[in-house]
Structure 1
């Protein structure tokens, strides 16, 4: 099973290896190998196993890392099916919505002093504006700027201006201070494993420590809830945070959440356009260009307001993708 960040191989263990790893013979494990891919999201903790060692103690349903071999690792396997297999945009059952809201509250209570050390330049606890600015700077300096030359003609053709994120940073308001906590930052349907009696949230390699509203915003956007369930999740999230004794984490929710939603739409336009272009086969057909065009148009529509972009029509996007794809050096210049 291959995603954007890892290839995963599910295999059963023989009894000797199972004994060494402290698990049941014939139990299935997930062998996980990182992919060399375009850097589009921040990773402040380079080793997922260090995060999982802490998280799996406090959230027992999260599969633990059994062994880390450096260039690959072996994890316990949580049997079940991803929520994404039930349909990418179907409504989520109410009991699962409540469970997900409770998950965020439980993750927020993981003690900071048990987590791996933070970077030296990390914002101070509660500095939500500094945290947002760090995320914006990462997008501009590590995602947009390094790939601007390679994708310059494509970005320009679809209407993504240089320094778009710098403009977003300048116009973003000052946020209310809130306590920081552990964030998963990638709770979407493919990372929610349903096992019949419950669920587990997997893939913690993008975990951060920061403003809890960022975690809620990424979840709301990537789950693609309809309007009603979007509102339900906001209300349940606030309710479960208060129930867990974390009312301070919800301060400013009604004003600041929209800022993080805007940021999520703004930052995702860069990886979405790059991924659409890089996913085109060498001998791309009309259907391939149609799919890539749809992906780019959707990303542009979502980012239009926060980045003040003009959304191009489909013909313009299709032509831009075809022009970019026609140059072999562009297709081979960035690692897929």
Structure 2
């Protein structure tokens, strides 16, 4: 009887290893399949325009003129600004949720998880009907006139509520719950003895968070940031509602522009011929941007691992 059970367990172990190995191999195969499909669909663009497609700024389907630079710039600008706006409050929120009383922490943690579950189209509708008028009537005049930031070229003077800054705010609100939830879990995994030891030698909460918690969970913290980065790079509907959808490089934070994902959503339904290939090329560029960020992040962690005492 025991031999039969042992043989059955051995077979289950082999089956599990086989399934785990197949799953591990499947992921890179899917990625390669994406790259092949997008590369094949984008091939006519490289034959037609060459490298000028990446640096071009025009977008005129009638004249068969296409350039990817405005969409690339809009994607990078909105993502970078969204991260800049979202990372500090996400970090502080996660730190507070770990140290606050249990009853309050549980309620706020549930609220944070619910925010992460809201569909992006709801954020977009809220942005269109609430945030855009608020930006036009109050925020942009306050920034430009009351604070005098309109004298700085990157802010501009006039704005209609749509544009780069509004889209970045929407993205920041969307990615903040994801990053904060991951950071909260990282903080909870930090051994209590380390934090108590830091408090025992006179460290403040900020010093403990900066020198102990962050150093201990840097991989998890960066993982949370890159989860937010990945969503911000590929977000479509929320940005589509408020960014203005003008294919040009924005001259200021109030300027209308577009992103790669928004351009795909706006044009793919009626795209045909070379324009369809242009959209495949934009999709390929977006995928390569996301992969490039992940590769750079892993390279940074590997190069700085020895400074954190990792093997």
Question: TM-score scaled by structure 1?
Answer: 0.23
Q: Which is richer in strand? A: 1
Question: TM-score scaled by structure 2?
Answer: 0.25
Q: Which is richer in helix? A: 2
Q: Which has the higher contact order (CA 8 A, sep 6+)?
A: 2
